[in-house]
Amino acid sequence: MSLSFHYAGSPAHIVFGEGASQEVANWIAKIGCRRALVLSTPQQKSDAEALAAKIGPLAVGVFSGAVMHTPVDVTETAMKRVGESRADCVVSLGGGSTTGLGKAIAYRTNLPQIVIPTTYAGSEVTPILGQTEGGRKTTVKDAKILPEVVIYDATLTTDLPVGLSVTSGLNAMAHAVEALYAQDRNPISTLMAVEGLRAFWAALPEIIATPSDLTARAGGLYGAWLCGTVLGAVGMALHHKICHTLGGTFDTPHAETHAIMLPHTAAFNAVAVPELLQPVAEIFGDSVGGGLWDFAKSIGAPRALRDLGLSEADLDKASQIAVENPYWNPRSIDRQSIRALLQQAWEGRRPEN
């Protein structure tokens, strides 16, 4: 059997290991920069300030205004801080919200980025930026969005709450599941996707049992790197379109939305491409959607959209937006089928397949 495929590996430099974040100043110098602006959310401001102090004279301050879904107005405010500080790079400390802000700045300025993830979002290794404006979330893919250096240090994740560990892990897993049936999938992306799913299958229960377990935490970061990398290598499909719709229009929390939708979107597409999603069933047991739902339940993940504050009446609008300018998907979609899928996710019912 002959093979024919395209694969483009990520040029990001990955630094992995306990205590690796102690070398941030060295990496700033290695990429030829001298004025680093540290980014964070308001909740991690003190951690960002401590990091800036550790960086020393190479740090020019902290901007701690990063929020979910990367609103354009927040990015514009951060851009003013970049200009005032004359920063020549950004250091993003935190999860997907902070990483997203760093990407948005880089997209507008081409400034180098160093990312230090403290969740399992995985977006730090993709050239994809999702940003929100006027109640709509859109995505853009560009080489300059991809961070230059990503530092994975498990010691920075031991304080990550178990609930957020679970939802951000499922968020990353969604990247891998979509990679398995992506239109431009290839053998390398599939291998990485399956390995990433196995890493989270093993790590998340251990993180719940012992949150301070550095081996389990490192396993989560390893899974995040793999799952994020495959998202950057292949295209997105229905799952991400729905999550972007719910997050951008209804401001549902990013990781929780992905966690809830994953079993349902996987089950929906398993009808069309069961052979491509067979590895999911083999890892999580039973069926594709049912196995993912059971795993989510076993680790205490949220399972119903209504628990995020979404009303049943919102589902009509969400299904309409989700079919506008749709992403490629292995199974054809229409408003009625997406409305039914969202109803099931809103109620938190276990998928049948």
Band (53; pLDDT cuts 50, 70, 90): very high
The pTM of the full predicted model, rounded to 2 decimals, is 0.92
pLDDT confidence of residue 295: 98
Q: pLDDT for 98-116, tens place per residue?
A: 999 999 999 999 999 999 9
CA–CA dist 90, 83 (Å, integer): 12
CA–CA dist 269, 288 (Å, integer): 10
Q: pLDDT for 135-168, tens place per residue?
A: 888 889 999 999 999 999 999 999 999 999 999 9
Q: pLDDT for 243-273, tens place per residue?
A: 999 998 999 999 999 999 999 999 999 999 9
pLDDT confidence of residue 325: 84
pLDDT confidence of residue 121: 85
Q: pLDDT for 1-47, tens place per residue?
A: 467 877 777 788 999 999 999 999 999 999 999 999 999 999 999 99
Any idea which of 122-131, 175-184, 263-272 has the lowest mean pLDDT?
122-131
Average pLDDT over residues 87-91: 98
pLDDT confidence of residue 8: 76
Q: pLDDT for 189-219, tens place per residue?
A: 999 999 999 999 999 999 999 999 999 999 9
* pLDDT tops 80 at residue 92: yes
Q: pLDDT for 293-304, tens place per residue?
A: 999 999 999 999
pLDDT confidence of residue 38: 98
pLDDT confidence of residue 2: 65
**Percent of the chain having pLDDT more than 70?**
99
* pLDDT tops 80 at residue 128: yes
* Cross-strand bridge partners of residue 130: 139
Band (326; pLDDT cuts 50, 70, 90): confident
Q: Which is more confidently placed, 81 or 327?
A: 81
